[in-house]
Structure 1
Amino acid sequence: MTPDSSQVFRGPHCTRVKISALGTYVPPKILTNADLEKMVETNDQWITERTGIKERHILDKGQGTSDMAAEAARRCLAARGIPATDVEAIIVGTVTPDMMFPSTACLVQDKIGAKGAWGFDVSAGCSGFVFALQAGAKLVESGAHKKVMVIGADANSTIVNYKDRTTCILFGDGAGAVLIEPAEEGEVGLIDFVHEIDGSGGPALNLAGGGSLHPASAETVASGMHFIHQDGQTVYKFAVRKMADATTRVLERNGVEGKDLGCFIPHQANKRIITATADRLGMDPSRVIINIEKYGNTSAGTIPLAMGTAVEEGKLKKGDLVLLAAAGAGFTVGAALLRWEI
């Protein structure tokens, strides 16, 4: 089976779909490793060697995830050359919504002026963008819509404890948006995906406070339950194993090998996780997109931001076969195969 003829998870009468535009945004404020050395017991060499991160962007106080998501959406629309009123649905992958409700999608819809659109948020941790991408693709494949905006955005600085050196060095803020539309004749677009959740991993990566189980109170604040909790080793082992498994599965069932890919765009959580997955796929390192040194882990924002980096560096071109992969809280894991049609 060739990737151009794959009908996995696609009915005989479904429309092929593609990413038709991309827009990204990171806030201007930068937090460097040198800055962190003044805040917590760590140093640049230690951070760089273990994570590959040199700096990360931080959202200003008074702004929320929806502000970054809306700006990424505006840039995506500008790249496509269409007004926001053409957008029929908005799906936002995020675990840092501005508030419990309304959804981030509602706030973005209002901020960009997408009158008449509907939408919702997807909570899948760092896999939020790839999960939202497939949800948006299915809305267009089914014929229900012709233009769906998919956004990955997180303001991780708002949930990081800057006294915890094991987590505060990892995370940054950022957003990316893509437009999903029907593919033109002769275009391939999105081909296949493999997604999985494993709720048994919840205790290893979570934010326990503020939900219905542990409503916000003086006690939850005092005990740090509104910050990211992470068992680093458990998360690392899951990410290495499951990202490799998911990517291998989606490639094998579409008759594709690592050498066939134009580029591999993985979630940017840790450089060692990325290289371990790429090695298993037999990928040429020059075709693996890594920008973690500039942005850190922006959760759902990492893959669209890495798409932007790939385009800027000339490593992602029209017609390229592209593999996306992510793993995150939940646990969640996702991989998607597509042909770049921009």
Structure 2
Amino acid sequence: MRRARIIGLGQWVPPKLVTNEELANIMGKPIPDSIENKLGIKQRYWTGEEYSSADLGFHAAREALLDAGLTPEDIDLIVVATDTPEYVSPATSSVIQGRLGAKNAGTFDLNASCAGFVAALDMASRMIGYDQTYTNVLVIGVYNMTKFADMTNERVAPIFADGGGAAVLQGQEGEAGYQSGYLYADGTQYDFLGIYYGGTKHPVTVEAVEEKKHLLTFLKPLPPDRNIQLWPECIPKALAKVGLTIQDIDHVVFTQINRWVIEEVMVKLALPWEKTTCVMDQFGYTGSACIPMALLKAEREGRIKQGDVVVMVGSGVGLAVATTVFKW
């Protein structure tokens, strides 16, 4: 059976490193203790004025291609998962394709908020399995939320960070590779948190910018236990499609926004802490990029090995949750 295997991983963060101590000095006010003690964030990287979303995706893609041993010309399709695009239009994937010189690749963007990378991985894997003209697919997660967050807010600025993560999928015969996926959404929760200006509902105006309405906006408080409830419900549904159970999981990677939530979920799943990986201490919250970044760390540290069952769970506003199961 032809399946999509992950044969290359890459990441890139901008050079501007900001520790919690440095951020407190920049803001002139202390950072809440919960940022490090509960969320697990100790530092983050910012794009500043020098780098954009396409920069993040381009450099992460080059690293993934190098890891896979492929050239840009080998790629048949590029999918970029982001809710912080280079432009409203054209697609960020088109910009990256041109910069890479991936002249044989089709492109499209996918926005499922911070569930985007896992959803894109699921879609790209299905395309490889269905259409044999797609052999090498580049899936890129891009997050550049510091451009849209109120960086004067001491409860917002410490969380959001910028980065790019990428994976190269290759169609191969055998049992290894993509096994299954499960997508969940609740669109009635669209008005909790988001960037609500800049689209057709609320075009950007001078007044909107002056009132900071074009930035990331918190409209309703997010339930603190939402992912604790949702993730353990979504994972078994993806596993059951291929006759697997929680006990079959060798490694699981979650959206990297809250270490405490991940700890609670691992307890609910009855899995040891060693079977997950966190990177928010190094990179802050990098949204659509955080899953491939965590995968890369786990693989480099030898905690993901050939033959392992690896589960990825991405979760974001909207509400959207995406789960995939791979055999490494």
The TM-score bracket by the shorter chain reads over 0.9
Pick from 198, 201, 224 the counterpart of residue 186 of structure 2: 198
Change (3 A) 1:40 1:15: farther
Specify every segment of 5 or more residues in structure 2 that has no aligned partner in the other structure, as ranges: none
Question: What residue in structure 1 maps to residue 284 of structure 2?
Answer: 296
Pick from 78, 81, 95 the counterpart of residue 83 of structure 2: 95
Pick from 12, 16, 30 the counterpart of residue 3 of structure 2: 16
Change (3 A) 1:231 1:276: farther
Query: Partners in 1 of 2:82 and 2:28 — Cα distance?
Result: 27
- TM-score normalised to structure 1 length: 0.90
- TM-score normalised to structure 2 length: 0.94
Query: Partners in 1 of 2:272 and 2:320 — Cα distance?
Result: 26
137-146 or 227-236, which moves further after superposition? Answer: 227-236
Question: What residue in structure 1 maps to residue 61 of structure 2?
Answer: 73
Query: Partners in 2 of 1:119 and 1:273 — Cα distance?
Result: 34
Any conservation in 2 of the 1:257–1:281 contact (CA below 8 Å)? no
Any conservation in 1 of the 2:9–2:64 contact (CA below 8 Å)? yes
Structure 2 letter corresponding to 1:147: N
Query: Partners in 2 of 1:130 and 1:30 — Cα distance?
Result: 26
- Displacement of 1:70 in angstroms is 0.8
Pick from 13, 19, 28 the counterpart of residue 32 of structure 1: 19
Q: What's the % identity of the aligned pairs?
A: 28
Pick from 114, 126, 138 the counterpart of residue 114 of structure 2: 126
Question: What residue in structure 2 maps to residue 138 of structure 1?
Answer: 126
Query: Partners in 2 of 1:46 and 1:195 — Cα distance?
Result: 30
2:150 maps to 1:152: no
Pairs within 5 Å for 1:238-249? 238-249=226-237
Query: Partners in 1 of 2:292 and 2:240 — Cα distance?
Result: 24
Query: Partners in 1 of 2:236 and 2:219 — Cα distance?
Result: 26
Deviations 1:256-296 (A, max 9, x none): 33332221111101112211221111111011111111111
Deviations 1:123-180 (A, max 9, x none): 1111010011112112211124111110111111111111222222211111111111
Query: Partners in 2 of 1:247 and 1:316 — Cα distance?
Result: 18
Query: Partners in 2 of 1:135 and 1:305 — Cα distance?
Result: 19
Query: Partners in 2 of 1:171 and 1:283 — Cα distance?
Result: 28
Structure 1 letter corresponding to 2:206: A
Query: Partners in 1 of 2:101 and 2:218 — Cα distance?
Result: 37
Query: Partners in 2 of 1:101 and 1:88 — Cα distance?
Result: 22
Question: What residue in structure 2 maps to residue 267 of structure 1?
Answer: 255
Instruction: Name segments (4+ residues, structure 1) moved above 4 Å.
Output: none
The SS at the match of 2:38 is helix
238-247 or 68-77, which moves further after superposition? Answer: 238-247
Any conservation in 1 of the 2:31–2:155 contact (CA below 8 Å)? no
Change (3 A) 1:296 1:337: same
Change (3 A) 1:181 1:197: same
- Displacement of 1:223 in angstroms is 2.0
Any conservation in 2 of the 1:89–1:119 contact (CA below 8 Å)? yes
Question: What residue in structure 2 maps to residue 63 of structure 1?
Answer: 51
- Displacement of 1:87 in angstroms is 0.7
2:167 maps to 1:178: yes
Change (3 A) 1:236 1:326: farther
Any conservation in 2 of the 1:40–1:162 contact (CA below 8 Å)? no
Structure 1 letter corresponding to 2:124: G
303-312 or 165-174, which moves further after superposition? Answer: 165-174
Structure 2 letter corresponding to 1:271: R
Query: Partners in 2 of 1:79 and 1:265 — Cα distance?
Result: 20
Question: What residue in structure 2 maps to residue 229 of structure 1?
Answer: 217
Deviations 1:97-129 (A, max 9, x none): 111111110011011100131111111111010
Specify every segment of 5 or more residues in structure 1 that has no aligned partner in the other structure, as ranges: 1-13
- Displacement of 1:44 in angstroms is 6.3
Question: What residue in structure 2 maps to residue 305 of structure 1?
Answer: 293
Any conservation in 1 of the 2:180–2:241 contact (CA below 8 Å)? no
Any conservation in 2 of the 1:40–1:165 contact (CA below 8 Å)? no
Any conservation in 2 of the 1:204–1:235 contact (CA below 8 Å)? no
User: How many residues end up aligned between the 2 structures?
Assistant: 326
Any conservation in 2 of the 1:91–1:122 contact (CA below 8 Å)? yes
- Displacement of 1:236 in angstroms is 3.2
Structure 1 letter corresponding to 2:298: A
